[in-house]
Structure 1
Amino acid sequence: MKPIGYARSREYWIRFGWGTLMGLIGAVVAFVYVIIVHGLEHILWHDDISITPFAGSVQIVIITTLAGLVVGIIHKIMPTEEVDVFGAIAQGDMDLTHAMGAIMASVVSLAGGFALGPEAPTGILAGGVGVWISKKRGLPKAIVRTNLFSSVAGAFAGLFTAPFGIILMGLELKHRQSPYYYGTLMIIAVASILGFTVFYAAGGNRFSAVLRLLELPPYELGTWHVLVGVLLGLIAVVFAFGFAVLMKILQQLMAPLHARPILRCTGIGLLIGLLGMAMPITLFLGTESLATVVAGRQDFALGFLLLSAVLKILAVTLVLAGGFIGGPIFPLLFVGGTVGIAIWQLFPGLPVMMTVGCMMAAVPCALVPFPATLAVIVLLITGTPVVNAIPVLTAALTAHFVLKGMVLSDPIATGQRLQDIDAALQEEADDVPPEAIA
């Protein structure tokens, strides 16, 4: 058997050097982005907002409406669309046409209190910077591909302070299996560790605030808990499918206003503000609200929990369909966690760590292309011990398999997309010197 020697060529170490540098740069720009967003949030939302229904003030409506107006103006004056970061990684390149507008709109969207997370815009920013530098330097396609992934990996590893979870994402995304790719994974690993180091050091040697966000009691694992994990995964499919369907419906309703972004975005800002006045829990990405719900899980009514989850889905889909830029993962973690508390209230014999962990993982994992990676991050957020992780992973993979594998699959579109990705991967393979995989 021929030994794997992907690190014995000069070309590999050039790629390694560029990839680690891009991981570092990606983490730095992502950290600056987060600081800017948090700073603007502090200026706009200096008072704490209660999650009690109808506790919101008119200030909420004013801020969200004005933020919607600004997002609409950004759409009007420059190309602005959310970039598919994971599709770009698979393709090995990122179209930068809409990147600048997307970043500017995302800053306003997140600071304005809309139910969106920072994962998508930080990925766009870091990946865009990596691709821009690579093309300015005239680097080969293989290095551009690695730099794109490395810069995003550095940003995400820092954002979640979970570097080795990001390495797992490299195995889940579409790739060509070869010794050469293991070399790429080593580059991604170093880039992720560097990204973690940047956020950890700049944050005062502290892990991300979302890690161990929830205080949940561990439990003794039983074999029947695995079956419960499957059932919870199936329940999560209902909410994830509702998200996908509502997103499609709202996109169709918004289509006539495509050429009038200022009217569209301002109107959505007004609607989100009114919703926020009635149900303040629907504002922002949802991590702090989820921590409050989990801590007081015995005090919240079942109807309030389920209504909060449904309205959070409405808030996320409305802003995404309307052209606001941000990620849906954090709000969907809120949806899953809140439904998990509701299930625990209905069946108090189930461990609350299991119901919350399973639903938090399964709802977003049903929709993303990296379910195992996200499930691992959920384990870190909930502080789930390794011995209690099996039901969570089971629920996440069940939901992903059912929804992405069967319900929402489009064989024709998927087949064409995979052909496009395969062609891009083949171009990369053609650029690899024989000695790089000798």
Structure 2
Amino acid sequence: MPPDDPAAFGHTLRFALAAVLLAVAAAGAMVLFLAVQYGGVALIWPESPPVPYFTLLLTTAGGLAVGLCLHLFGDHVGLLQETLATFEKTGRFEPQYLPAGLLTIYLSLVSGASLGPEVAAVDMGGGMGTRLGDRVAALKDRVRDLSTVGFLGCLVGFAIYLLLTGPPGALYPVPPYTFVAVDLLYAAVLGLVGAAAGVGFIYSYHLFARLTAPLADRPLLRGLLGGLGLGILGTLAPLVLFSGQTEFRTVLAEGAAMGAVMLLGIVAAKILASTWCMATVFKGGPVFPLFFAGGTLGMAASLLAPGVPIALAVPAAMAGMTVAVLKMPSVVLVLLAMVFLQWDIVPAVVVATLVGYAATRGVVLIEKG
């Protein structure tokens, strides 16, 4: 049976074909970006430092490199919340800034910045979608949709990369867990504990942003200070470097031996490192650093209250902290379900996420303009 409106059907068909091709291209681009990123990390970060204060030297050099990029090309990479808020208003990303933006993100991540690659996924995929809509006359009215498809494709590419290169199973392999009704109460408390840490993250960023505001037009100096600060924290607590996926596996394996006090110190150092990076010149996203800090906080809580299983404490505290900063409960729920791959954990994560969100709705990282 022929369609009632052949022209509309043809337009829909063209959009669907373009969307599929765009999603595949975006996923491939993200896999390539991550491969080059982790290859760069492996190249310049040896397992044993070759010289004293190697971490400090490398992060400082990285900060200067990022600052130089901002000096030469301008600063067109915002915080994740800023980028998404701009897209919500305009329905597009500006692809002309994409090459320089990806370079600054890449240099930040390989320099050990305590940030994740999700901003690269959003900017790259969104920029590809906007460029496609701008270039193809028949798709100019679907720029917002294509931009959304683009960054979702990059997020799929991120998942594909992890599946191809990481160990089998969950990204965060907590011990097996069986749901018990009383654990919902524990989850609510842990959600509040995580939310309190999330508020600390927000206030830490606000403080550092105010301190560095007078240097807004001096990216090289901000880069120098950013690299020095990151290097000092990374020298004292190496686990706070990078986004935290690999480092959190170390916490899961060795956290009991470290003890609750040391784990709490690592949480504080991670918050300082991530917010310092965000407030100076380093570019990247907060999601995986929040996962690391929240999960480490949950591990410490389980050690302080042995009756609370690690498999409950880690995702619940992680959920409370992450949602306190992102203010996107549905996104947090989906992400945590994906990284733990245990359905019995989901009810506790739901409770912790809702409690953390409700308790911190009035405390935001970025004010909406």
Pairwise same-fold verdict (TM > 0.5)? yes
In the aligned structure 2, how far is the partner of 1:28 from the partner of 1:304? 40
Residue-by-residue CA offset, 1:357-401 (whole Å, 9 max, x unaligned): 1112221122225322332322332332x1331001211222123
Superposition deviation, residue 121 in structure 1: 1.3
In the aligned structure 1, how far is the partner of 2:115 from the partner of 2:365? 25
Q: Call closer, same or farther: CA 1:301–1:114 in 2, change over 3 Å.
A: same
Could you say which residue in structure 2 is the equivalent of 1:42? 42
Superposition deviation, residue 244 in structure 1: 1.0
Alignment length, in residue pairs?
Answer: 359
Do structure 1's residue 212 and structure 2's residue 170 form an aligned pair? yes
Gaps of 5+ in 1: 50-55, 162-198, 418-438
On the 8 A contact 2:26/2:151 being kept in 1, the answer is yes
Percent of aligned positions that are identical:
25
Superposition deviation, residue 97 in structure 1: 5.4
Q: 2:88 aligns with which of 87, 90, 95?
A: 90
Q: 1:276 aligns with which of 225, 231, 234?
A: 234
Superposition deviation, residue 88 in structure 1: 4.5
In the aligned structure 1, how far is the partner of 2:113 from the partner of 2:132? 31
Superposition deviation, residue 209 in structure 1: 5.3
Q: 2:344 aligns with which of 377, 381, 387?
A: 387
On the 8 A contact 1:15/1:146 being kept in 2, the answer is no
In the aligned structure 2, how far is the partner of 1:387 from the partner of 1:48? 40
On the 8 A contact 1:19/1:147 being kept in 2, the answer is yes
Could you say which residue in structure 2 is the equivalent of 1:128? 127
Matches within 5 A, 1:23-62: 23-47=23-47, 57-62=52-57
Superposition deviation, residue 98 in structure 1: 4.0
Q: 2:225 aligns with which of 236, 257, 267?
A: 267
Q: Call closer, same or farther: CA 1:378–1:237 in 2, change over 3 Å.
A: same
In the aligned structure 2, how far is the partner of 1:211 from the partner of 1:81? 37
Q: Call closer, same or farther: CA 1:371–1:207 in 2, change over 3 Å.
A: farther
Superposition deviation, residue 130 in structure 1: 1.9
Could you say which residue in structure 2 is the equivalent of 1:246? 204
**Normalising by structure 2, what TM-score?**
0.90
In the aligned structure 1, how far is the partner of 2:169 from the partner of 2:217? 41
AA aligned to 2:145 is T
Could you say which residue in structure 2 is the equivalent of 1:21? 21
**Normalising by structure 1, what TM-score?**
0.76
In the aligned structure 2, how far is the partner of 1:232 from the partner of 1:157? 30
Do structure 1's residue 68 and structure 2's residue 63 form an aligned pair? yes
CA RMSD in angstroms comes to: 2.5
Q: Call closer, same or farther: CA 1:327–1:396 in 2, change over 3 Å.
A: same
Matches within 5 A, 1:37-436: 37-47=37-47, 57-83=52-78, 84-91=82-89, 92-96=91-95, 98-161=97-160, 199=161, 206=164, 212-384=170-342, 386-403=343-360, 405-408=361-364
On the 8 A contact 1:372/1:393 being kept in 2, the answer is no
Superposition deviation, residue 314 in structure 1: 0.5
Superposition deviation, residue 296 in structure 1: 2.1
Provide runs of 4+ in structure 1 moved above 6 Å.
Answer: none
Residue-by-residue CA offset, 1:407-433 (whole Å, 9 max, x unaligned): 4499xx75xx6xxxxxxxxxxxxxxxx
Q: Call closer, same or farther: CA 1:283–1:341 in 2, change over 3 Å.
A: same
In the aligned structure 1, how far is the partner of 2:359 from the partner of 2:99? 36
